Amino acid sequence: MSVITTENLTKVYNPDKVPVHALNGVDLTIEKGEFTAIVGPSGSGKTTLLNIIGGLDEPTEGKTFIKDTDLTTLSDSELIKFRLNHIGFVFQAYNLIPVLTAIENVSFVMQMQGRPSAECREKSLALLKEVGLEDKIHKRPSELSGGQQQRVAVARALASKPDFVLADEPTANLDSVSTAELLDMMLDLNKREDMTFVFSTHDQRVIDRARRVVTLVDGKIDSDEKRG
């Protein structure tokens, strides 16, 4: 089943001043369980594409479907609710809430979804165990390494039971050991839980381990390589 489908995605920034054509007709289908890297030179449109797929930005033309839902038909409030319930986000700067502990950061998303607090706590604990942080659940972000913070961010992304996890350069601020550990963990979640991951990266070590590599050049798909 397709989790993400884009049709003729086009994005023009500053259309009335000096237009920047960031995406030029991107047709992309991502199936459930794929582990896809979006790569390409700086300025090729990777972040723009991820932002549109994640419902954080709107295309100038074209459509984005998450399963059967056309994001372009949702109102702002519907989109906020849709993102909360269907998409897990991981950002390069981790974006954890500094005053909350690891377990509170993960629980927060589920509390926003209105799930009972006992369930939030139990599920957060299970997720932090899955990402190898059961001994750090009461630590705040400032007490954790970058790699550990990014693991909390992945646990948080999974907390809402999303249809897929979207990650914009998730390893950009990590050293090579933490990068390898984060990838091992994401690949493990991908295999065991069939979780769909879509991430942008510049890092060749990350690209080497992706199971599908979509290359953007000048806002268009230049190549799309699926690996066994």
Ligand X SMILES: Nc1ncnc2c1ncn2[C@@H]1O[C@H](COP(=O)(O)OP(=O)(O)OP(=O)(O)O)[C@@H](O)[C@H]1O
Chain positions contacting ligand X, by CB under 6 A: 13-14, 20, 22, 40, 42-48
Residue 118 CB, nearest approach to ligand X (Å):
41
Give the separation between CA 45 and CA 26, rounded to whole angstroms.
10
CB 116 within 8 A of CB 149: no
CB 88 within 8 A of CB 162: yes
Which residue, 47 or 72, is less far from ligand X as judged by CB? 47
Residue 226 CB, nearest approach to ligand X (Å):
21
Which residue, 107 or 200, is less far from ligand X as judged by CB? 200
Residue 113 CB, nearest approach to ligand X (Å):
29
Residue 174 CB, nearest approach to ligand X (Å):
16
Query: 184 has which bridge partners?
Result: none
Which residue, 6 or 48, is less far from ligand X as judged by CB? 48
Which residue, 9 or 103, is less far from ligand X as judged by CB? 9
What is the residue whose two structure tokens read 């369930």? Answer: 119
Which residue, 109 or 214, is less far from ligand X as judged by CB? 214
DSSP output for 93-112: T----TTS-HHHHHHHHHHH
Residue 105 CB, nearest approach to ligand X (Å):
25
Give the separation between CA 227 and CA 61, rounded to whole angstroms.
31
Query: 65 has which bridge partners?
Result: 5, 70
Which residue, 45 or 170, is less far from ligand X as judged by CB? 45
Using alpha carbons only, how large is the chain's radius of gyration in Å?
Answer: 17
Residue 21 CB, nearest approach to ligand X (Å):
8
128 closest CA partner among 147, 153, 163: 153
Phi/psi of residue 182, each to 5°? -65, -40
Query: Would you give the DSSP letter of residue 133?
Result: -
